[in-house]
Amino acid sequence: DAGITQSPRHKVTETGTPVTLRCHQTENHRYMYWYRQDPGHGLRLIHYSYGVKDTDKGEVSDGYSVSRSKTEDFLLTLESATSSQTSVYFCAISASGETQYFGPGTRLLVL
């Protein structure tokens, strides 16, 4: 398995609070992605990164921001969590932007 970890693995938070999810890789891959997975919607891309400090929006980026200050870490921040952001969040990495490898996921519950 690709060396990808996500933290925390589970989180419960309250509406209006900021939340940061971390994705850490040991593969030195250039590309990193954040997805959310919801029943009936499949996987939806939130943001992705194509290098250190190089990021771009995906299809569901509203309410989320990201940062990548070093190759191995990609942070996803929910600036003010809402109940609609309750979801399972997956990080993925890719060496060449072609095949993606996924982390174990973070379950987020916003009350």
Partner 1 sequence: AQSVTQLDSQVPVFEEAPVELRCNYSSSVSVYLFWYVQYPNQGLQLLLKYLSGSTLVKGINGFEAEFNKSQTSFHLRKPSVHISDTAEYFCAVSRSNYQLIWGAGTKLIIKP
The binding site for partner 1 (CB under 8 A) comprises 31, 33, 40-45, 48, 50, 58, 90, 92, 94, 97-105
Minimum CB distance to partner 1, residue 96 (Å): 8
Rg of the Cα atoms in the chain: 13
Minimum CB distance to partner 1, residue 101 (Å): 7
DSSP conformation class of 59:
T
C-beta of 36 vs 78, nearer to partner 1: 36
Minimum CB distance to partner 1, residue 90 (Å): 6
C-beta of 18 vs 43, nearer to partner 1: 43
Give the HSE-up count for residue 47: Cα atoms under 13 Å, Cβ half-sphere: 21
3-state secondary structure of 37: strand
C-beta of 18 vs 104, nearer to partner 1: 104
C-beta of 16 vs 42, nearer to partner 1: 42
Written as six digits, the tokens of 81 are 């969590």
Minimum CB distance to partner 1, residue 11 (Å): 16
Q: What is the C-alpha to C-alpha distance for residues 23 and 15, in angstroms, rounded to an integer? A: 23
- Backbone dihedral angles phi then psi of residue 84, each to the nearest 5 degrees: -70, -10
Q: Which amino acid is at 80?
A: S
